[in-house]
Copies of this chain bind each other. A is one copy, B any other.
Amino acid sequence: MHNPQLNRNGALQHLLTIDGLPREILSDILDTAAPFTEVAEREVKKLPLLRGKSVFNLFFENSTRTRTTFEIAAKRLSADVINLNIGTSSASKGESLLDTVDNLCAMQADMFVVRHAVSGAPFLIAQHLAANGRDHIHVINAGDGRHAHPTQGLLDMYTIRHYKKDFTRLIVAIVGDVLHSRVARSQIGALTTLGVPEIRVIGPKTLIPADVDRLGVRVFHDMRAGLKDVDVVMMLRLQSERMQGALLPSPQEFFKYYGLTADKLCCARPDAIVMHPGPMNRGVEIDSAVADGQHAVILPQVTFGIAVRMAVMSMLAGT
A52-B45, A62-B88 in contact; A93/B306 too (CB < 8 A)?
A: no
Q: Does A217 contact B (CB under 8 A)?
A: no
A211 to B86, CA, bound (A): 38
CB-based contact B45/A278 at 8 Å = no
- When the two chains form the complex, which single residue of B54, B106, B279 contacts A94, counting CB atoms closer than 8 Å? B279
Q: How far is the CB of A104 from chain B (nearest CB, A)?
A: 8
CB-based contact B80/A76 at 8 Å = yes
Q: How far is the CB of A2 from chain B (nearest CB, A)?
A: 25
Residue among A45, A89, A106, A278 with the highest chain B CB neighbour number at 10 A: A106
CB-based contact A299/B102 at 8 Å = yes
Within 8 A of B (CB), among A4-46: 40, 42-46
A82 to B80, CA, bound (A): 13
A42-B52, A299-B103 in contact; A71/B65 too (CB < 8 A)?
A: no
A44-B51, A86-B64 in contact; A299/B106 too (CB < 8 A)?
A: yes
- CB closest chain-B residue, reference A102: B299
Chain B residues within an 8 Å CB radius of A96? 282
Chain B residues within an 8 Å CB radius of A42? 52
